[in-house]
Amino acid sequence: MASFKAFMPFLFVVCLMVGSVSAQLSSTFYATTCPNVSSIVRGVVEQALRSDDRAGAKLIRLHFHDCFVDGCDGSVLLEDQDGIVSELGANGNAGITGFNIVNDIKAAIENVCPGVVSCADILALASRHSVNLAGGPGWEVQLGRRDGRTANLDGAMELPSPFDDLSVLRRKFRDVQLDDTTDLVALSGAHTFGRSRCRFFDRRLNTSNPDPTLNSTYADELRQNCQPGRDTFVNLDPTTPDTFDSNYFTNLQSNRGLLESDQVLFSTSGAPTISIVNSFASSQSQFFTAFAQSMINMGNLGPLTGSTGEIRTNCRRLN
């Protein structure tokens, strides 16, 4: 009891911090300055999906990788330029794409509401619509972020990795003030759609020392799929690869999680994440509710508001 009382002032401060961040963002932020921003973003995402099944997964990955490094400030989008060493040089951002879609969204918005909507908010809205258009939940996106004028390559080196074990993943979520069980499992569920290059999981396929947490039949299928080379793309979800659903969690239950960082959520002995995986596997609605809340939680990480930062004209470069 004494230790709990000692913890309460810290908890109170954290709650105040989270509350103050949430209060600075608003779902109606652009109600008068760009009232159609959400429908504009959705339209461009729909158009991108017609020619690229991976478009939605690309956009949500950009949002994740943005928010995990110094908060949701659009820094992941910046390329090398005077005064900026891009975060794209980090291992965790290897092969990250989707910038062309962000550019298209930005151009469409600038045609209607020039100089108003940030690139950071574009990523938040695009992620919501990407999930919803794939059959997943919607949520009320909090808006009002501004774009940062810095990048943090060293911080990007600490992005969650497909090779991380559960203890490392949990630490990385705690480090950015996200819950290391529910937020971790729910947000990992975004791997219910999209693709991964073989290089991010093929060490699990070593025939002389196979990963014991990988279903052997599935491992054989993956070896066959990866024969063309390590940069071959494989579905993250072998059952419904382009649909946002709870199959990601039933896959984990049958040892068919593609990445090590996926399977450890279920296969780490005694882990508190196991019961959450089981709950989401048995109730898609429970997963959808938790995922939507975790996306809001992540979107509240360190936003720039007020007069800090800027509204970039080009998402890839500082004004």
| Residues acting as catalytic residues | 65
What angle, 0 to 180 degrees and rounded to 10, lies between the N-to-C axes of helices 37-51 and 99-112? Answer: 140
DSSP, res 196: E
Of 211, 208, 229, 227, the C-alpha closest to 219 is 211
Of 272, 229, 227, 221, the C-alpha closest to 251 is 221
Kind and range of the H or E element at 129?
helix 119-133
**Token pair recorded at residue 62:** 């950009």
- What single string gives the DSSP state of each residue in 15-65? HHHHHHHHHH-BTTTTTTT-TTHHHHHHHHHHHHHHH-TTHHHHHHHHHHH
End-to-end Cα, the chain, rounded Å: 53
Cα-only R_g, the chain: 20
Of 268, 261, 263, the C-alpha closest to 215 is 263
Q: How far apart are CA 284 and CA 101, in angstroms?
A: 29
Question: In sequence order, what are the beta bridge partners of 146?
Answer: 304
Largest Cα span, the chain: 62
Q: How far apart are CA 160 and CA 259, in angstroms?
A: 12
